[in-house]
Copies of this chain bind each other. A is one copy, B any other.
Amino acid sequence: MISGKKVNGIRHVHEAPNVRTKINSHDDELVVKQSQQPDNSPLRACLLGRFVEDRFVYRQTFSIRSYEIGPDKTATMETLMNLLQETALNHVTSSGLAGNGFGATREMSLRKLIWVVTRIHIQVQRYSSWGDVVEIDTWVDASGKNAMRRDWIIRDYRTQDIITRATSTWVIMNRETRRLSKIPEQVRQEVLPFYLNTFAIDKEKTDVGKIDKLTDQTAGRIRSGLAPRWSDMDANQHVNNVKYIGWILESVPIHVLEDYNMTSMTLEYRRECRQSNLLESLTSTTASVTEDSNNNNKNKNSHNHNSSNNRKADLEYTHLLRMQADKAEIIRARSEWQSKDEH
């Protein structure tokens, strides 16, 4: 899902490592033997998640770890995205549908098809601290004729308050030809029983607006020479999807990173990136949203995400991550921020 690669304009998820669910073969004192069903052990449920809501929703619980927090001592956006990815992949693995690819079903694997994410939108109401426990629910639904939607909700485990909502759009691609494909009927039949017609983010509050392409002329800030490290690579020798967020933030003013919380982010994936590529990060203020200067934008809804706060963002940015050599687009993004002082 979040981790993948892309050719010809759309990201594709990579080949799967050998997924093994070993943890039931050795039960120690941690495991209360509630059930002898291998997949229902409490340890498995705790470490890998479990189905709830008549198997329409997959739920996994995480404690925020000491190394997953940023300078402000709360979980970073990268951490949230990593946890969403992990829950989604465990959902597919646990569904019994998993083929030989990250998130691909058996019928997809037979046809060399893979899911590729085209867009993800996340709204963060509150960031968790070290030791906090969060509960992530995820499910899938149809999205038009040839796409799938995956949504997530993150709750504070103690209070059960919803603290984050996210939604994403997926299409199918042939992993050899790199061409988009319709969803084959056999694949549709596999996934249909899992579809749940519920939206993590109300339709009128989601960000479906076009993200403008930044250029040298329109970007307020440009950071060049960003070099992916070996440790940024994923199992497919491509840049791990979540790492893009770190580079996007490199062209955001540091006082914003320090004094504001990112309350929403929309990522539109456009091209893969390998280690040898030098990157450029471009950021432009979309104007203070409270000035409502965005009436000419194609989607006004995109400027009022944070419904739960009942107030508009203090800052809105448009971002572009591109290759330094040929300026080819890798990812477009939009972010909204609120001052920490006002909370």
Residues of A in contact with B (beta carbons under 8 Å apart):
2-3, 17-23, 25-26, 29-32, 34, 42-43, 45-48, 50, 52, 61-63, 65-67, 69-73, 76, 78, 82, 85-86, 89, 93, 102, 129-133, 157-160, 225, 229-231, 233-237, 240, 242, 245-247, 249-250, 254, 257
Contacts and interface: CB of A to CB of B under 8 A. Distances in A.
B26 A131 contact: no
Contact of A67 (B32, B82, B246): B82
A45 B69 contact: no
Across the A-B interface, give the 7 residue pairs with the lowest CB-CB distance, nearest first: A46-B46, A231-B246, A17-B73, A22-B158, A32-B32, A47-B63, A23-B133
Given A69-B234, A72-B235, 11 more contacts: A2-B67, A17-B73, A21-B131, A26-B159, A32-B32, A43-B46, A48-B63, A67-B82, A70-B235, A225-B225, A230-B254
B70 A86 contact: no
A246 B233 contact: no
A125 to B, nearest CB: 17
A234 B18 CA distance: 32
A158 B70 CA distance: 33
B67 A86 contact: yes
Contacts of A157: 22-23, 26
Q: Which of A3, A69, A230 has the most C-beta atoms of chain B within 10 angstroms of its own C-beta?
A: A230
Contacts of A30: 42, 45-46, 50, 61
A158 B18 contact: no
Contacts of A62: 47
28 contacts: A17-B129, A17-B130, A18-B129, A18-B130, A19-B130, A22-B132, A23-B133, A26-B159, A26-B160, A30-B61, A42-B46, A43-B61, A46-B46, A46-B47, A47-B61, A47-B62, A48-B63, A66-B89, A67-B242, A70-B233, A70-B235, A71-B236, A72-B235, A73-B235, A229-B246, A230-B246, A230-B254, A231-B249
Contact of A78 (B52, B231, B233): B231
A242 B47 CA distance: 23
Contacts of A93: 131
A237 B254 CA distance: 12
Nearest to A129: B17
Nearest to A19: B131
Nearest to A130: B17
Contacts of A19: 130-131
Contacts of A247: 229
Nearest to A35: B32
Given A230-B254, A254-B230, A133 B22 contact: yes
A42 B42 CA distance: 8
A236 B72 CA distance: 8
Nearest to A88: B66
Nearest to A252: B230
B131 A22 contact: yes
A343 to B, nearest CB: 16
